[in-house]
Structure 1
Amino acid sequence: MSTIPQHDELAKRTGHLLAACGAKVTNGDQMARTPITGGSLGAAGAAGDIGAAVDRAHDAFEIWRTTPAPVRGNVVRRLGELLREHKSQLGELVSIEAGKIRSEGLGEVQEMIDICDFAVGLSRQLHGLTIASERPGHRLMETWHPMGPVGVISAFNFPVAVWSWNAALAIVAGDPVIWKPSDKTPLTALACGALFQQAARENGAPEHLLQVVLGGGKQGADLAAHEGVPIVSATGSTAMGRKVAPVVAARFGRAILELGGNNAAIVAPSADLDLAVRGIVFSAAGTAGQRCTTLRRLIVHRSVHDEIVEKVAKAYESLPIGDPLADGTLVGPLIDGGSFDRMQAALETAQGDGGTVVAGGDRALDDEAPDAFYARPAIVTMPGQTEIVRSETFAPILYAMAYDDLDDAIALHNEVPQGLASSIFTTDLREAETFIGAAGSDCGIANVNIGPSGAEIGGAFGGEKETGGGRESGSDAWKGYMRRQTNTVNYSRDLPLAQGVNFDV
């Protein structure tokens, strides 16, 4: 078990990391802290003015929307290069501010690098269609155009990756970006913003192409409500989405929502159990259970239920918990005391519903770090899918339930309001194809023989139902940041009307 570092040394290290990325931190009312020790890292700056930021973004838009897309891609290419150069510093900063273990912090920066690579290629492929026209001498086609400023509201658990999924696509699409990061992770945003500004300057891009606006709920609400922001991408809880979505819809804006996840894995009797256990443990305990794709429900065939639970519990007991920057640590801290309290309340409710805590659930290292909140990942066997199981608790709690028939398992899987990520462990081809088919998982992501946690840049990321329906990152998610225009060009000397209409004058 690792030793928690001295807070003063951690704060000093944070200053060096910010300086290495070219970030300048000013005094103000926005404060930064680290969940590693629970202590303050000092001021991060002042809360921003969304209205002023939108005005500046529109000035940038006037230039950027007519800049050729491959030229826009040069800014993102340079950003990717700078991220590679500063990967270790940014990864460490993510660990300090969000509490992720070192490999996950570095992995998050790698996601930024990957989406930059994707977006650079995309900048030469923002293509529409040529469509057969029913009228002679006419060409029918569709083109795609920039929309305007994109507001990005990001969450603490992925303080930089999710922003980049949106920003890289928006920038090559011709849209300036206004980024309102979580008020729990402002420093990582300032560091990324500084690197972006360097990339923009070196490529002659307009000023204010990216603006980082610090603040809390007021800034997020102002961004969602501003009519000068045609697209708002918001990542967070379903409760947050319920506030953002109607505000954006009321002004006929476009919302890209990536909200709560209550993700499950089905373990079939034919599954490779050792492989399944590895996938389950990472998906459920990784990032201290604070991923939107974290595995929260385990639906196991009755014939292997007890064996799987025993193996997962044994693995949990051996997980190194502690300083996320230390080699060998696999579980870092929860973001704050509120998260730990919600975890304890959920466990108490689950036990009241007949659940049994098989392993974990208690606080760790409280004598060594009394102001931080480290928790041992919990596995709880449940008699059925009670209301607490149907709710998302952003903490490392895994509810295990037994099933007898695959149809029943899929029904149990789908019987929650969230629909983000899902998985099945099986070596039966029919079961695998059924799960990812039309009558299987109702989630935006459905995996076979890997857990629900973790995604590659090439695929669109997002979910259905209370997860919000938004899509970010790969595939054709870029269309969410542009407007489609249908064009008809008449190159004949006649004016035939569609559908054979006669209107002679």
Structure 2
Amino acid sequence: MGFARKEYEFLKELGLGPRNPGCFVHGGWRGSGPTVSSVNPVNNQTIAEVMEASIQDYEDGMQACNEAAKLWMQVPAPKRGEIVRQIGDALRAKLQHLGRLVSLEMGKILPEGIGEVQEIIDMCDYAVGLSRQLNGSIIPSERPNHVMMEMWNPLGIVGVITAFNFPCAVLGWNACIALVCGNCVVWKGAPTTPLITIAMTEIVAEVLEKNNLPGAIFTAFCGGAEIGQAIAKDTRIPLVSFTGSTKVGLMVQQTVSERFGKCLLELSGNNAIVIMDDADIPLAVRSVLFAAVGTAGQRCTTCRRLLLHDSIYDSVLEQLIGVYKQVKMGDPLEKGTLLGPLHTHASKEKFEKGMDIIKSQGGKILHGGSAIGSEGNFVQPAIVEISPNADVVKEELFGPVLYVMKFQTLNEAIEINNSVPQGLSSSIFTRKPEVIFKWLGPHGSDCGIVNVNIPTNGAEIGGAFGGEKATGGGREAGSDSWKQYMRRSTCTINYGSELPLAQGINFG
């Protein structure tokens, strides 16, 4: 088994062994479901085994979590923030090991793996400050001797279902905020990244134990669709945050809505970068490279469509192909690697089939587009010239495929940008204020993230993250996203002896 390899010794520092229970239930580890293998995408060899959750494991965990919620919501918010601060410090202490695990199990390069863990640490810091700012408001009352105000209270339990491409950062966006808002967290990690789920949970569990708090405040399951469906159906979970495909997200939304629960969806993206004729071309080319090739194109914010003004089309394309040729592909743990493998062998096969579909719809491959003949899941990042009206352009092929197309006017570029079902991220490169503000305005990009002179990916945690249309409409991380994790009450207090009615109504 791969776990015995010398380069995997660091996994012991994260509490991992060759065979690991995959459920953290009622403060203890167990797992009575199927045994699965965690696989290194570089060579498709097993790293370690994990025992997934059964439905009985899930039910036992939820019962304990439901009881723990009664205690946790009564803990003052600043003290909840102190627990999250300690979680952040515990993550800092193991930043390098955790980042290395993300790279090993998911396949992204080491700087990105470390950056992902840093993102959770940043979210912890953000949430600590937020724990003293969960403010309501005083609203002027039209009635004498009355006070109106808003109160924010915990929901109780928040379910978090995360995807393989950001196996722990998305947890941080949700869990850090949910915890300081007074909610317990039930986490189902991605089925193909179970070791990250276990390692992260172990760190949180140690902090809870050190503070004599019930471990069930943070309950975690490694498992597949059966556990995800259980979370979606569970009336004990008022809010379910789901990150994944639009197809599965729609099913989750329908299931949660049927029980009048709330959904926070972060689904697919089909993001465009527009380069105007006055743009800083070297800056734009570097941005496109990171946006299209970073994480092997497996970010929801990956740039999938490049819109080039007709007058600069050939020049930009020539420069872009030049930098693509310089991208070093290889083991994501090796220094200097810019492009690691796709996450699974199935992803590699889907990439190959996708290239065939692209060709059948008139796409002209200008660079790359082939799978690498190796034991790993490596592919050559593709640059494809294609019509914006091709059906395949409307879909999200989750890999390093960049569609290139021409435009002549800003209005045409905006129309192409907005023509796909998804609406997550978008960016324009220009120096003209009138172009910038049209792009940002009501007749500009219809995405949840609208950038200028930076890539479509690499969002900061301080802003709300999420998109429109088939991207789901959810918002996570910063700004006022915390309000989704709490229950709002409008409260009116009568401190007088009369009973005046609103709108001047006289009822006898």
Q: TM-score, length-normalised on structure 2?
A: 0.95
CA offsets 1:415-447 (integer angstroms, 9 cap, x no match) = 000000000011111111111111100000000
- How far apart, in 2, do the equivalents of 1:102 and 1:149 lie? 33
Is 1:424–2:424 an aligned residue pair? no
- How far apart, in 1, do the equivalents of 2:352 and 2:215 lie? 47
Q: Structure 1: any 5+ residue segments left out of the alignment?
A: 1-6
SS of residue in 1 equivalent to 2:215: coil
1:51 maps to 59
Identity of aligned residues (%): 45
Note the C-alpha offset of 1:10.
7.6
SS of residue in 2 equivalent to 1:363: coil
Note the C-alpha offset of 1:148.
1.3
Q: Which runs of 4+ in 1 moved over 6 A?
A: none
1:32 maps to 38
Is 1:20–2:13 an aligned residue pair? yes
Asked if the contact 2:244/2:267 (under 8 Å) is kept, the reply is: yes
- How far apart, in 1, do the equivalents of 2:4 and 2:368 lie? 28
Asked if the contact 1:379/1:400 (under 8 Å) is kept, the reply is: yes
1:119 maps to 127
1:300 paired residue among 298, 303, 308: 308
Is 1:343–2:357 an aligned residue pair? no
- How far apart, in 1, do the equivalents of 2:171 and 2:327 lie? 30
Is 1:266–2:259 an aligned residue pair? no
Is 1:132–2:132 an aligned residue pair? no
Q: Structure 2: any 5+ residue segments left out of the alignment?
A: 22-30
CA offsets 1:65-96 (integer angstroms, 9 cap, x no match) = 11100011111000000111100000000000
SS of residue in 1 equivalent to 2:173: helix
1:285 paired residue among 290, 293, 298: 293
1:240 paired residue among 241, 248, 257: 248
SS of residue in 2 equivalent to 1:494: coil
Asked if the contact 2:278/2:431 (under 8 Å) is kept, the reply is: yes
Note the C-alpha offset of 1:277.
0.3
Asked if the contact 1:223/1:229 (under 8 Å) is kept, the reply is: yes
1:191 paired residue among 199, 209, 223: 199
Note the C-alpha offset of 1:11.
5.0
- How far apart, in 2, do the equivalents of 1:8 and 1:215 lie? 22
- How far apart, in 2, do the equivalents of 1:50 and 1:259 lie? 25
Asked if the contact 1:145/1:484 (under 8 Å) is kept, the reply is: yes
1:312 paired residue among 320, 323, 335: 320
1:4 maps to none
1:225 paired residue among 233, 245, 250: 233
1:474 paired residue among 475, 478, 492: 478
- How far apart, in 1, do the equivalents of 2:2 and 2:123 lie? 35
1:3 maps to none
Is 1:493–2:497 an aligned residue pair? yes
- How far apart, in 2, do the equivalents of 1:429 and 1:417 lie? 28
- How far apart, in 2, do the equivalents of 1:108 and 1:155 lie? 13
Note the C-alpha offset of 1:363.
2.0
Note the C-alpha offset of 1:9.
6.8
User: Residue 185 and residue 134 in structure 1: after superposition, are their counterparts in 2 closer, same or farther (change >3 A)?
Assistant: same
AA aligned opposite 2:348: F
User: Residue 9 and residue 65 in structure 1: after superposition, are their counterparts in 2 closer, same or farther (change >3 A)?
Assistant: closer
SS of residue in 2 equivalent to 1:215: coil
Q: Within 5 Å, give how 1:84-163 maps onto structure 2.
A: 84-163=92-171
- How far apart, in 2, do the equivalents of 1:11 and 1:154 lie? 29
AA aligned opposite 1:432: I
- How far apart, in 1, do the equivalents of 2:14 and 2:185 lie? 20
- How far apart, in 1, do the equivalents of 2:3 and 2:499 lie? 76
Is 1:388–2:392 an aligned residue pair? yes
User: How many pairs were matched up?
Assistant: 493
1:465 maps to 469
